[in-house]
Each structure stands twice: as C-alpha cells, then as structure tokens.
Structure 1
Amino acid sequence: MPDIHIHRLHHLGLVAAREVARSWADKAERKLDMQCTYEEGDAQDLLQFSRTGASGTLQVDSEAFELNAKLGFLLGSFQSQIEAEITRQLDELIAAQAPGGAAEASDTPAG
C-alpha cells in the first residue's frame, strides 16, 4: 500500500494548531466522506481518519503536524496528487492561523 507522510512545522501553539486540525477534519468529512475522530491530549492531539481505500492519523502539537496515511490499491495510483492536495490544504490553514496571516509553514524531510 502506498504511504503518504507529511511533516509541517509551525509557530501557532497548540490551541491554534487544534483549530487547523479540526478545520482540516471538517473539510475531509464534508468533501471526502472521511470518518474523523479527534482526541485532545495535554501536549499532543491525535486525529484519526478513514474511508474506503484510505486511513491515517494526524498528530498535532504546539510545533508540528505529522500526517501519515495509507492508501488502498485504487487510490494508490493518485498518491502524488493526494499528497500535493493535503500539503496545500495544510499550508493554507496554517498560514491563515499564523500571526499577521503570514505563511509560517515549513517542511522537513519525511523520515
């Protein structure tokens, strides 16, 4: 199964990062028919998402987002497009929450 791994650093803090994650989950539920569950923790939250052919997690903390997803056979052929769209959405949501609206998102190599 193809994997998607996206790591995004941010300077939002946990409260604003939660807003980004919940916004992303709302959009995924509405537009992609995903089932999402969100669990808040003291220092880190976990968003789990799934639908036929895809499942994964988004870990949220005060400094980073870490998305890991597995795609089934049919969606696997669209891996690069799906990864690009998720990256774009996260970057836009992070930029919208950043102080002054400045894009503060950055990426680090997947590992």
Structure 2
Amino acid sequence: MADINIVQKHQLAPEQARAAAQQVVDKLAEQFELSCRWDGDVLHFDRTGVNGKLTLAPDQAQVQVTLGLFYGAFAGVVESKLKDKMARVFAG
C-alpha cells in the first residue's frame, strides 16, 4: 500500500474552494472510476484499491489517498499529477 498526503495553501472563498476540490476529485474519479460524496467540507472518494478524502479549511486543502497493492506501483505518478492539479485549481 502507498499513502499520499498533499497540503495546498489557498486564498479562495469557500464556494470557490469547494469547486476546486470537486475538479481535483473529478479528475481522479475519471482515471480510477471512483465514487465521490461530500460530508460537510470533506470530499470522500473510493473504490476497491483506492480511497481517500480531500478536506477543505479556510486557507488550505489537504488530499489524503491510500493506494492498494495494485495501484501502489503508480504512487509516484499519481502524487505528481495530484500536486500539479492542486496547485493549478487552488491558485485562484
């Protein structure tokens, strides 16, 4: 298993941050066929072999992903793409 944890600072209004978070997880969902659901300011996503959450705070967003054995081999690529996507969408 591989764990990914990324924290991205932002200065977005709550509704903008929520839209940005949705963009990040939509991209993941497309690649990994994930199901997603909001619980307050936390966007949960999962499927067999992949699960995680994107948590919004007033000044930062944090994504935490756990990749199972099969997907763990792609952890470096997934982390790199997530960092790039987070930086772009939360830049405002």
Normalised TM-score (structure 1): 0.75
Matched-pair identity in %: 28
CA contact (8 A) 2:52 2:66 kept: yes
Partner residue in 1 for 2:22: 22
CA contact (8 A) 2:8 2:90 kept: no
Partner residue in 1 for 2:37: 37
Partner residue in 1 for 2:71: 75
Unaligned 5+ runs, structure 2: none
CA contact (8 A) 2:53 2:65 kept: yes
1:92 aligns with 2:78: no
In 1, Cα distance between the equivalents of 2:90 and 2:5? Answer: 17
In 2, Cα distance between the equivalents of 1:63 and 1:17? Answer: 9
Unaligned 5+ runs, structure 1: 99-111
Distance 1:78 1:30, change over 3 A: closer
Normalised TM-score (structure 2): 0.89
Q: How many residues align?
A: 92
1:50 aligns with 2:38: no
CA contact (8 A) 2:9 2:90 kept: no
In structure 1, what residue type is equivalent to 2:30? R
Which of the pair has more CA radius of gyration? 1
Shift of 1:93: 1.1
Shift of 1:69: 1.1
